[in-house]
Amino acid sequence: MIKIRYIVLVFLFLACAKKLPPEKQAYYDKGKSLYIKHCITCHNPNPSRPGASGPPLKNASTELVYKKVLFGTYPDGYKPKMPGRLMKVFKGELNKSDTDAISIYLQNL
């Protein structure tokens, strides 16, 4: 009886632990290291919180990260969390696959 309870607990634990499919996990890891390398001078190392000068980025959409990071613009109709154009543009430094990876990280925190 105890053994069955134990197995059920382990099963529940595994079912609850957040696990991404391997390909997404690779993107997540890449996105996380790019975020730490390029973004945390202004955004918080914990993307749920406001940073030194930038707003929280948790759950930022793929399109938002792409446009803001590479072009300094926003998706049509998007209302920015903070006004202004202080953020640098990373065109030439990062590409679309990089911004996709960063958004997968931000969406799966």
What's the half-sphere exposure (Cβ side, CA atoms, 13 Å) at 42? 12
* CB 30, CB 38: distance < 8 Å: no
Measure the N-to-C terminal CA separation of the chain; round to a whole number of Å.
37
Angle (CA) 5 20 80, round 5°: 125
By CB under 6 A, tell whether 64 contacts ligand HEC: yes
By CB under 6 A, tell whether 90 contacts ligand HEC: yes
With CB under 6 A as the contact rule, the residue among 28, 69, 70, 101 that binds ligand HEC is 69
With CB under 6 A as the contact rule, the residue among 38, 44, 62, 63 that binds ligand HEC is 38
> Where on the chain is the footprint of ligand HEC (CB under 6 A)?
38-39, 41-43, 53-55, 57, 60, 64-65, 68-69, 80-82, 84-88, 90, 102
